[in-house]
């Protein structure tokens, strides 16, 4: 009988990308299964069409009633909670899903298999942690190695042509080499000073002749070096971002969603770490880490951090980030 599996991963876009290898491995373990992924709408385009996801269910508790969630979860055989949401756990119990797996986090009463959070999980690559939860809950043996590759949906032909036009209009032709970066993250403690980014872009341009294509949610009020930087902030769709990263020589970024695009496309990356822990969030392959040596780093905000001035990021020098970029661009990586 075909198993119906309901998986929740509500969070940021990067969080959803990190869950994709789990879904891929679940489909291999249960090839005839029907897998539904519950996410927020923000990540829909980046996973729509992935072959191991049969259905995407968008749910927003502020707009959608509990009855909608409960009704949706009826008839499933397995529920896997890869986030810490309480409401889906309650809905799954009321829907009488026979197997309900997840970290307890105040919802253990509603789970049939409660996985305790262990201290090693704070410093272990996030897909590995999710894999350990699934293995413990379903008595599987998914290897950590199988979870190194992440997945994103491919860009449509329209997306590719539109991206090529935007790049061409900015002076980057099809086949040209370039570097990509998103200088601002969603959380200020992860941000590197914009002057440092601009200086890095200039060094890369003058040494290698490579333009630095920057992207983000919206334009920044900052004067970038006109020769070194192409500003596409606020101009690209999610799938276009994936395609932009896929065709780049290098992604340079602090810890945020774009580094997971890098892990999904195989593009080498240099990632700046201070506030967050690279052991938990850094791509496992083709990645160089530039990390603060301050004793308070990482703090990650999970344990009551009240940092208001991220010295860990400010103290990362342009020269040390550039050196890591050189190792990749000079093919010494």
Pick the closest to residue 201 from 211, 193, 191, 216 (CA basis): 211
213 near 183, Cβ under 8 Å?
Answer: no
pLDDT tens per residue, range 161-195: 999 999 999 999 988 999 999 999 988 889 999 99
pLDDT at 232: 98
The kind and range of the H/E element at 128 are: helix 126-138
Beta strand pairing call for 178-181 and 78-81:
unpaired
> Quick one: fold of 4-147?
Rossmann fold (3.40.50)
pLDDT at 275: 87
pTM: 0.95
Question: Which regions of the chain are under pLDDT 50?
Answer: none
Q: Which two tokens stand for residue 210?
A: 């490579």
Reduce the DSSP state of residue 126 to 3 states and report it: helix
pLDDT at 30: 98
With vertex at residue 317, the alpha carbon angle to CA 311 and CA 322, rounded to the nearest 5 degrees, is 145
Q: Which two tokens stand for residue 300?
A: 């990650």
- Torsion angle, alpha carbons of 174, 176, 181, 183, to 10: -90
pLDDT tens per residue, range 114-132: 999 999 999 999 999 999 9
pLDDT at 222: 96
Reduce the DSSP state of residue 7 to 3 states and report it: strand
Residue 11: phi, psi to the nearest 5?
170, -155
- Residue 153 DSSP code: P
pLDDT at 33: 98
With vertex at residue 80, the alpha carbon angle to CA 133 and CA 187, rounded to the nearest 5 degrees, is 75
Confirm whether 4-147 and 157-329 share one CATH topology: yes
- Residue 213 DSSP code: E
CA end-to-end span of the chain: 48
Pick the closest to residue 303 from 107, 103, 117, 110 (CA basis): 117
Listed in sequence order, the residues at least 6 apart from 198 whose beta carbon sits closer than 8 Å to its beta carbon are 222, 224, 225, 228, 229
228 near 202, Cβ under 8 Å?
Answer: yes
- Residue 171 DSSP code: T
CA 191, CA 207: separation in Å to the nearest integer? 25
Reduce the DSSP state of residue 55 to 3 states and report it: strand
What is the domain partition of the chain in residue ranges?
4-147, 157-329
CA 16, CA 9: separation in Å to the nearest integer? 6
Domain 157-329: state its class: alpha beta
């Amino acid at each position: 009988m075909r198993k119906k599996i309901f998986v929740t991963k509500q969070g940021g876009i990067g969080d959803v990308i990190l869950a994709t290898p789990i879904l891929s491995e679940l489909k291999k373990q249960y090839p005839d299964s029907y897998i539904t992924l519950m996410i927020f709408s923000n990540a829909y385009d980046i996973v729509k069409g992935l072959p191991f996801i049969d259905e995407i269910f968008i749910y927003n508790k502020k707009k959608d009633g509990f009855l909608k969630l409960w009704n949706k979860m009826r008839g499933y055989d397995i529920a896997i909670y890869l986030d810490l949401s309480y409401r889906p756990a309650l809905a799954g119990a009321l829907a009488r899903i026979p197997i309900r797996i997840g970290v307890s986090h105040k919802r253990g009463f509603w789970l049939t298999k409660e996985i305790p959070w262990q201290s090693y999980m704070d410093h272990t690559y996030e897909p590995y942690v999710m894999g350990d939860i699934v293995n413990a809950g379903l008595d599987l043996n998914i290897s950590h190695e199988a979870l190194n590759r992440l997945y994103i949906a491919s860009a449509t032909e329209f997306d590719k042509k539109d991206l090529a036009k935007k790049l061409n209009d900015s002076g980057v032709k099809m086949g040209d080499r370039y570097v990509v970066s998103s200088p601002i993250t969603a959380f200020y403690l992860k941000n590197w000073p914009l002057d440092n980014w601009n200086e890095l872009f200039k060094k890369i341009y003058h040494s290698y002749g490579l333009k630095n294509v920057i992207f983000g949610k919206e334009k920044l009020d900052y004067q970038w070096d006109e020769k070194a930087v192409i500003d596409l902030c606020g101009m690209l769709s999610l799938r276009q971002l994936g395609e932009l990263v896929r065709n780049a020589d290098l992604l340079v970024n602090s810890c945020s969603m774009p580094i997971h695009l890098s892990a999904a496309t195989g593009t080498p990356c240099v990632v700046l770490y201070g506030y967050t822990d690279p052991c938990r969030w850094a791509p496992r392959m083709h990645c160089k880490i530039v990390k603060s040596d301050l004793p308070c780093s990482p703090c990650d905000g999970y344990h009551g951090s009240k940092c208001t001035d991220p010295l860990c990021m400010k103290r990362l020098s342009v020269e040390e980030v550039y050196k890591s970029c050189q190792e990749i661009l000079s093919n010494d990586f």
